[in-house]
């Protein structure tokens, strides 16, 4: 990793918080955790009826969690009246192979693809957008 980018005009870096996890709401945490385990190779490190948490190996510093939200409505993309709010970028070696594998795991490919030569915009089984990005 390189040097941190200064946050203030005087070139000082102020650290207030450290990102430790990302949480996605969904109707079925177990299903979505299983999808992302298969897609990333990460492991479940915590599970209960309404919450699943994944981490890369024993030393990964960021977790990816799934929280039950019974009234969850996935974002629509692209939609000028809505946005995807945020999405995950996942680095892959081969876009075609990764896309096929993701679809076999339950992902869907969005019809609109802004740059299919370097990135594929997909939706996980709950409808959250994610991008498969060429390494």
Which residue positions in the chain have pLDDT lower than 50?
none
Yes or no: domain 13-71 corresponds to CATH 3.10.180.10: yes
pLDDT at 79: 78
Domain chopping of the chain, boundaries: 13-71, 73-135
Number of H helices, E strands in the chain: 2, 8
pLDDT tens track for 17-42:
788 999 999 999 999 999 999 999 99
Q: If you search the block for the tokens 């009246």, which residue do you land on?
A: 81
CA distance 113 to 130: 12
Res 11: pLDDT: 72
- Residue found under tokens 């994944």: 54
Q: What is the pLDDT of residue 4?
A: 60
Q: Do the domains spanning 13-71 and 73-135 agree at the CATH topology level?
A: yes
With both helix axes pointing from N to C terminus, report the angle between 29-40 and 95-105 in degrees, rounded to the nearest 10.
Answer: 150
Q: What is the pLDDT of residue 16?
A: 62
pLDDT of 77 reads 79
Domain 73-135 has CATH 3.30.470.20: no
Q: Provide the whole-model pTM.
A: 0.80
pLDDT given at position 80? 78
């Amino acid at each position: 990793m390189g040097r941190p980018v200064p946050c203030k005009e005087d070139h000082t870096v102020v650290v207030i918080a450290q990102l430790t996890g990302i949480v996605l709401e969904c109707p079925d945490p177990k299903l979505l955790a299983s999808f992302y385990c298969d897609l990333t190779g990460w492991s479940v490190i915590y599970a209960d009826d309404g919450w699943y948490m994944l981490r890369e190996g024993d030393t990964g510093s960021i977790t990816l969690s799934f929280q039950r939200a019974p009234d969850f409505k996935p974002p629509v993309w692209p939609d000028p009246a809505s946005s995807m709010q945020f999405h995950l970028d996942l680095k892959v070696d081969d876009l075609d192979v990764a896309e096929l594998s993701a679809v076999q795991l339950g992902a869907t490919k969005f019809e609109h693809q802004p740059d299919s030569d370097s990135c594929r915009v997909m939706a996980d089984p709950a409808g959250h957008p994610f991008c498969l990005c060429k390494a």
